[in-house]
Structure formats: C-alpha cells, structure tokens
C-alpha cells in the first residue's frame, strides 16, 4: 500500500491532445514514475492495481489533497511516506484515469513490451555539469540573471541555505533539502512541468528552458550538499536599523528646513523703511 505514487505532473495541453493510456501516461506520469524500472520521484507503478481498487485510485488521482484533508488513512500514509508533498488535484475524467491504469497494468505484465515508456531509459541530466552550471543556476535562482522566457525568479517564492545568494521568499517551500529528497530526476521534472497549481500558473507562458533546468538542478544539488556549512545572514535587523536611520534623517531634515525657511515676504524690509 505504501508504495503508491506521489506526484503526477500534469501538462494540461498534452493531456488535452492525448488519445489513449500511453499518451496520457507520458504526458502526466513519466517525469516522476516508471513501470517496472524502479523508483524516481515517486515509486515504481508496476502492479499498482493490486494495491488499491480502481475507485480509490480514481479518487486519489483526481483529488488526493481532498482525501488527505478528509483523513483517508491510505492517502495520509502516502502523504507522510513521501515527505508530505501532495499530488495536485486535477480534472482528468474517469475514462482517462482508467485508461492510464489499464496501460500501467498491461505494461507491468509485459503486454506492451514495445511501448515508449518501457523503452525510455532514465538519464541523469547532471552528468558532466561544471561549476559554471552551478554559478548560472545561482544567478537564475536569485534573479541576478533573467530566465530566457521571463519567468519569475525562484527566490520570489522560495528560500534556501546559501550565504552567497540573496533569497528571501516565504510564499512556498524552503528548498535546501529538495535535491536530497527528490534527486535530479524529481527536481528537473518539477522545473520542466510543475505539478503545483501556483507554480504551474506562474510559468504557464514562461517555460524554463532545458539549459536552465540543468543549471537550476545543479545549483540545488550544490545547496543540498553544502547546506550544513552555510550561515546565511539575517538581514531583517539590519534592514529595520537602516530604515529607522533614514526615517530619523528625513524628520530632522524636515525640521531643519521648516525652521530655516523664509518667514517674511521678500519686500517686507523695504515696506518697513517707508513707514
């Protein structure tokens, strides 16, 4: 039971054009799962039909977060098992979900030996990366370098333990341990096709390029490996102190200018001499 699935990254456009279970699987699941080739972001989906009945699987795939909130014990167990990262709810139809499950069952049993998913190998995208990739990823993360398609910088929503990079986002998850939990396949899969609604919307028309995915993944691996040696500075106190100093300076300047202002009309002294 525990080895169900965690994330099905949903590509809305690809799903809309998909005609069968294999196409739906490749559009929705392949970034995070294999069928009989081991665990990626989520577990291997082989024999998933033997671990839960079809109706439960349909409900979980469509609205896993709802089931978790309602206290479904199996859904909660999956949520806890996989670092409390919930699969986003989606609007797949019953028939679409059933076609995916049928494809998984047939592929796992060897009925589709020549299918795309079975033949697809898993290659580590970080093979051969250098310090240059890490440095580029750091700049992209912090916003010092713009993403090619003008997507928002990661630091606008996320923070992580890196004293050399400015990051202060508090709207989403802290990312220092993300690579350790998800590996290069998981991180890159999310960057390429975000399964989280807000992130998906933010990058919907601003896709991250393949090169940028590699650089950001390399940087997150570096952060994960080096996080114990980092001591990021808390700039909150300095920011408040600087703000207070500027405020006092403005007040003093206003007072000085007010009392040093011209208090009488330009011709007042000329008028007084004539009287």
Do 241 and 172 belong together in one domain?
A: no
Which secondary structure element, helix H or strand E, spans residue 108, and what is its range? Answer: helix 94-108
Instruction: Tell me the whole-structure pTM to 2 decimals.
Output: 0.58
CB 138 within 8 Å of CB 164: yes
pLDDT of residue 197: 73
Q: How confident is the model at residue 243 (pLDDT cuts 50, 70, 90)?
A: confident
Do 36 and 115 belong together in one domain?
A: yes
Asked whether residue 19 carries a pLDDT value surpassing 70, the answer given is no
**In 143-171, which positions are buried (b, 16+ CB within 10 angstroms) versus exposed (e)?**
bebebeeebebbbebbbbbbeebebebee
What's the domain count of the chain?
3
Distance of CA 83 to the CA centre of its chain: 15
Owning domain of residue 16: 12-119
User: Which CATH number do you get for residue 214?
Assistant: 1.10.760.10
Q: Position of tokens 């139809």?
A: 93
| Segments of the chain assigned E as strands | none
Q: How confident is the model at residue 184 (pLDDT cuts 50, 70, 90)?
A: confident
Whether residue 25 is contained in a domain is answered as: yes
């Amino acid at each position: 039971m525990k080895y169900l699935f965690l994330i099905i990254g949903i590509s809305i456009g690809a799903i809309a054009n998909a005609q069968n279970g294999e196409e739906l699987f490749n559009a929705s699941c392949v970034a995070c799962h294999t069928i009989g080739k081991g665990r990626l972001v989520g577990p291997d989906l082989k024999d998933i039909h033997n671990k839960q009945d079809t109706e439960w699987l349909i409900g979980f795939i469509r609205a896993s977060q709802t089931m978790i909130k309602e206290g479904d014990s199996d859904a909660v167990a999956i949520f806890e098992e996989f670092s409390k990262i919930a699969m986003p709810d989606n609007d797949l139809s019953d028939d679409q979900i059933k076609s995916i499950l049928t494809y998984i069952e047939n592929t796992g049993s060897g009925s589709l030996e020549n299918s795309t998913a079975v033949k697809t190998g898993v290659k580590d995208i970080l093979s051969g990366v250098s310090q240059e990739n890490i440095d580029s990823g750091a700049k992209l993360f912090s916003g010092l370098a713009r993403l090619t398609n003008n997507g928002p910088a990661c630091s606008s929503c996320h923070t992580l333990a890196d004293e050399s990079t400015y990051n202060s986002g508090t709207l989403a998850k802290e990312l220092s341990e993300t690579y350790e939990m998800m590996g290069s396949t998981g991180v890159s899969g999310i960057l390429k096709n975000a399964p989280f609604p807000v992130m998906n919307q933010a990058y919907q028309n601003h896709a991250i390029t393949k090169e940028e995915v590699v650089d950001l993944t390399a940087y997150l691996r570096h952060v994960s490996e080096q996080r114990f040696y980092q001591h990021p500075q808390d700039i909150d106190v300095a920011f408040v102190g600087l703000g207070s100093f500027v405020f006092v300076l403005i007040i003093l300047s206003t007072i000085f200018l007010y009392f040093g202002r011209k208090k009488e009309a330009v011709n007042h002294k000329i008028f007084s001499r004539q009287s």
